[in-house]
Chain A
């Protein structure tokens, strides 16, 4: 395999270990809760939620419901974008009322995505609690939001970008830190 560009933060094994640890932390923190559910933010958070659910299923021998949300319609920058992003469906097939929901995303950065996701979930009903699990916390928050479970915390500047690749969409499992020529705030998000 060619040497990846940028600095490797987590490789395949590292991602696997981080997710296993997050799964166990979720169980430990919610051991008295029968109403656990995972909600992944599309697109990569959705894949991570499925992986965590699989680990939880294997350890606990019970199936944890998994839902997916697309937060596009709740974004706060929708009026300032040149063109509208293509939206995917939100699929919350279970009733969120009184559930303890663990929201899952790949990278926690400004916190704006999570704000949007919280608003969207609450529009589906009133959960007992919402917790947050992220694979990478890269700092630089613009809103008062903090994660409950972190795979790896990395100090970054705005001139860097965290690139998460997962086999489900990118043919390999790898997290790298890339240098950018201009601040990442104005970089194009795929």
Chain B
């Protein structure tokens, strides 16, 4: 069974079968990352442009490594060193890049829906690397991969996502994806940082952290996104960390064999305490390693060409 779309725009509405296909494929690529030569010639003929209209460390390096490990040619674009500074519109920039014959575009943009807009402009496969506060599908896929690797399945896992849900594309993608896989997702944060009518997404909503953590298997702490907060959503960082910070004391509320996750970058001492972030139950760095394998899987699965099947003999 192949993926249904040649783009990866989001996990909303993506079925269990498709998600499992990506995670299974990622498992194969995870093995390649342990080889002496961590590179396969699979996407030799593919050119990928990484269009980052917003800053990024992990996602961008991760995509770039995934492309290189698959032998694709990749080109990087960031707004501060480009004609965007001279006032070129997104549409013009993208059309010009497309005129240079590319096969795939990885895009991050501050506006939700930008990757969807690009699908109308380009023939290339579009991969969403984060659009505003909407979706960040590869991050959610790597989170699910990391959990599936540890627990064997996602079904019936109790996952608490804590913090700034309102501005978080990681939270949205994870809520949709994990629920599709049969996990039970709870969210927790101050009322001002939860989206309106969030309960319609089918999650349990908590405003008290201890209640949200009781009986959970997994805690995902989200970053307080200071750059997206034009007005203040809570009085002080200190108050926030006292009410919603994941501290060592609170870990005893969790189920045995629990897992701590964070999509990064972390504000240490705000949403997550130092000793929790660096503890043995933390998979924060595994998430990063697995991210490369998951992105390789996505690039591979979206790169199918048009033509006949050929027996190789």
Within 8 Å of chain B (Cβ to Cβ): is A185?
A: yes
Complex contacts, B306 vs chain A, CB 8 Å:
80, 82
Nearest chain A residue, comparing its CB with the CB of B27: A89
Chain A: minimal CB distance from B45 (Å): 5
Looking at the complex, which one of A73, A89, A123, A188 makes contact with B309 (CB distance below 8 Å)?
A: A188
What is the interface of chain B mostly: helix, strand, loop, or mixed? loop
Chain B: minimal CB distance from A108 (Å): 7
Using known A-B contacts A123-B35, A124-B36, determine if residue A81 contacts B300 with beta carbons closer than 8 Å. no
Interface centre among A84, A113, A120, A188 (most CB of B within 10 A): A84
A185 touches B310 (CB 8 A): yes
Looking at the complex, which one of A74, A77, A140, A186 makes contact with B40 (CB distance below 8 Å)?
A: A74
Using known A-B contacts A84-B2, A123-B35, determine if residue A79 contacts B313 with beta carbons closer than 8 Å. no
Q: Which of A135-187 contact B (CB under 8 A)?
A: 138, 140, 184-187
Per-residue A-contact encoding for B299-313, CB less than 8 Å = 1, 0 else: 011011111111111
Q: How far is the CA of A113 from the CA of B310 in the complex (A)?
A: 12
Using known A-B contacts A74-B40, A83-B304, determine if residue A108 contacts B45 with beta carbons closer than 8 Å. no
Complex contacts, B313 vs chain A, CB 8 Å:
107-113, 138, 140
Complex contacts, A89 vs chain B, CB 8 Å:
27-28, 31
Within 8 Å of chain B (Cβ to Cβ): is A75?
A: yes
Q: How far is the CA of A119 from the CA of B41 in the complex (A)?
A: 9
Complex contacts, B308 vs chain A, CB 8 Å:
80, 82, 186
Q: How far is the CA of A108 from the CA of B311 in the complex (A)?
A: 12
| Residues of B within 8 A of A (CB-CB), count | 31
Within 8 Å of chain A (Cβ to Cβ): is B37?
A: yes
Complex contacts, A108 vs chain B, CB 8 Å:
313
Q: How far is the CA of A89 from the CA of B293 in the complex (A)?
A: 13
Within 8 Å of chain A (Cβ to Cβ): is B78?
A: no
Within 8 Å of chain B (Cβ to Cβ): is A78?
A: yes
Chain B: minimal CB distance from A47 (Å): 18
B45 touches A189 (CB 8 A): no
Within 8 Å of chain A (Cβ to Cβ): is B225?
A: no
| Residues of A within 8 A of B (CB-CB), count | 39
Complex contacts, A112 vs chain B, CB 8 Å:
312-313
Nearest chain B residue, comparing its CB with the CB of A184: B311
Nearest chain A residue, comparing its CB with the CB of B311: A189
Chain B: minimal CB distance from A124 (Å): 6
Chain B: minimal CB distance from A142 (Å): 8
Q: Which of B257-313 contact A (CB under 8 A)?
A: 300-301, 303-313
Chain A: minimal CB distance from B43 (Å): 8
Within 8 Å of chain B (Cβ to Cβ): is A6?
A: no
Chain A: minimal CB distance from B270 (Å): 40
B301 touches A113 (CB 8 A): no
Interface centre among A87, A107, A111 (most CB of B within 10 A): A87
A82 touches B307 (CB 8 A): yes
Q: How far is the CA of A89 from the CA of B309 in the complex (A)?
A: 22
Complex contacts, B301 vs chain A, CB 8 Å:
84
Q: How far is the CA of A186 from the CA of B310 in the complex (A)?
A: 5
Q: How far is the CA of A88 from the CA of B267 in the complex (A)?
A: 39
Q: How far is the CA of A112 from the CA of B28 in the complex (A)?
A: 22
Within 8 Å of chain A (Cβ to Cβ): is B42?
A: yes
Interface centre among B24, B25, B28, B310 (most CB of A within 10 A): B310
Q: Which of A63-79 contact B (CB under 8 A)?
A: 70, 72-75, 77-79
Q: How far is the CA of A84 from the CA of B21 in the complex (A)?
A: 11
Chain B: minimal CB distance from A156 (Å): 10
Which residues of A are at the interface with B, using a C-beta cutoff of 8 A? 70, 72-75, 77-84, 86-90, 107-113, 116, 119-120, 123-125, 138, 140, 184-189
12 further contact pairs, Cβ within 8 A, besides A70-B28, A123-B35, A123-B40? A74-B40, A79-B45, A80-B310, A81-B307, A82-B306, A82-B308, A83-B304, A84-B303, A86-B21, A88-B28, A109-B311, A113-B312
- 22 A-B Cβ contacts within 8 A? A73-B41, A74-B40, A75-B42, A79-B45, A81-B310, A82-B306, A84-B304, A86-B25, A87-B300, A89-B27, A109-B313, A110-B313, A112-B312, A113-B312, A116-B312, A120-B40, A124-B36, A125-B36, A185-B310, A185-B311, A186-B308, A186-B310
The 7 closest A-B pairs by CB, nearest first: A109-B313, A80-B307, A83-B2, A110-B313, A73-B40, A123-B37, A73-B42
Which residues of B are at the interface with A, using a C-beta cutoff of 8 A? 2, 21, 24-25, 27-28, 31-32, 35-37, 39-43, 45-46, 300-301, 303-313
